[in-house]
Amino acid sequence: MTDTAILMPAPMPAAVIDALDRRFALHRLWEQPDAGAFLADHGAAIRGLAANTLAGRVDAALFDRLPALEIVANFGVGYDNIDARAAADRGIMVTNTPGVLDAEVADLTIGLLLATIRRLPQADRYVREGRWPHAPFPLSPTLRGRTIGILGLGAIGKQIARRLEGFDVRLAYHGRSRQADVAYDYHDTPVALATACDVLIAIVPGGGGTRHLIDADVLRALGANGVLVNVARGSVVDEPALIEALQSGTILAAGLDVYADEPSVPDALLALPNVVLLPHLGSASEHTRAAMGQLVVDNLTSWFGGHGPLTPVPETA
């Protein structure tokens, strides 16, 4: 397979680059002085694409420049950066990295939830600024007595729920349909879920189908004691509506790991005292990123070894 041309539009972890270099003819598009000229000269030979969110849109326009493309192996479980339907129309396989990051994202979600409700970053700053000797840190809200709604009870959502069961809280969820084997309360719309809970955790896929799923109506339903935690995609939340809700007291607080225009975070969010902001850390541990990278390599190796994809996305499965 060493003569099989693989294109990597944007950098990935060094271990992924090294592994693909050993197995394929890897082309690093970000190192090319003129990416357009490179694609014009070499695009017809590219058979595989190793993509991530830094690669930008992987869509029909790019596919047209890669007529021999067979597979797009995405570094991440979310693949809203890839037009999977356009790939399917062209017979191009798309894979992602499910499973290997579920536990890490679930752990991070619990940490972000606790940090937001108990105001842990604010308390850390209070100590560092030398304010503790002059007055105790103000009492925080609590997780006690809360109902937590999970918007998207997929593999990661279920892991989040299992962890929350140990906190003795009531759980509810919304998804495309009720799950027969799930005992948590089901609500048939996001507004209904928000009305029934006072913590809302978003863990749905990105893309057009979930854009602004959490809007002003959902935030009003969540209420003045409500806390939003978004570990899904920034597009899932109407960001201006969220800012207004945090400023006006429509909701109590928010913990955000994702944003509408990453890595740009609106100044209005940065200025708010009732929001905890993380730089998209969901799966960002050395252990999990290594597992994700290995799955990218394994998908490409399996495909070009004639064994098919390991983790195809539904549109191209």
Residue 187 is among the residues annotated as catalytic for this protein = no
What would the two tokens of residue 269 be? 């969010």
User: What residues are paired with 72 via a beta bridge?
Assistant: 49, 94
Cis ω before 205 (30° cut-off from 0): no
Token pair for residue 105?
Answer: 């994202």
Show the tokens assigned to 49.
Answer: 């694409």
How far apart (Å, rounded) are the C-alpha atoms in residues 239 and 242? 5
Q: Would you call 233 a catalytic residue per the annotation?
A: yes
Beta partners for residue 254, in sequence order: 228, 275
For the question of residue 280 being annotated catalytic, the response is: yes
Q: How far apart are CA 29 and CA 5, in angstroms?
A: 12
Active-site residue, selected from the candidate residues 146, 233, 239, 289: 233
CA-wise closest residue to 112 among 291, 279, 285, 250? 279
Residue-by-residue DSSP string for 202-223 = E----SGGGTT-B-HHHHHHH-
Q: What is the largest CA-CA distance in the chain?
A: 69
Note the residue count of the chain: 317
Contact indicator for 197, 222 with CB cutoff of 8 Å: yes
Spatial separation of the C-alpha atoms in residues 268 and 173, rounded to whole Å: 30
- What whole-number distance in Å separates Cα of residue 171 and Cα of residue 165? 8
Structural contact between residues 187 and 148, judged by C-beta atoms closer than 8 angstroms? no
Residue of 57, 131, 162, 262 marked active site:
262
Helices (H), the chain: 14-23, 35-42, 60-65, 84-89, 102-117, 120-128, 155-165, 190-196, 216-222, 239-248, 267-270, 286-304
Q: Give me the active site residues, please.
A: 233, 262, 280
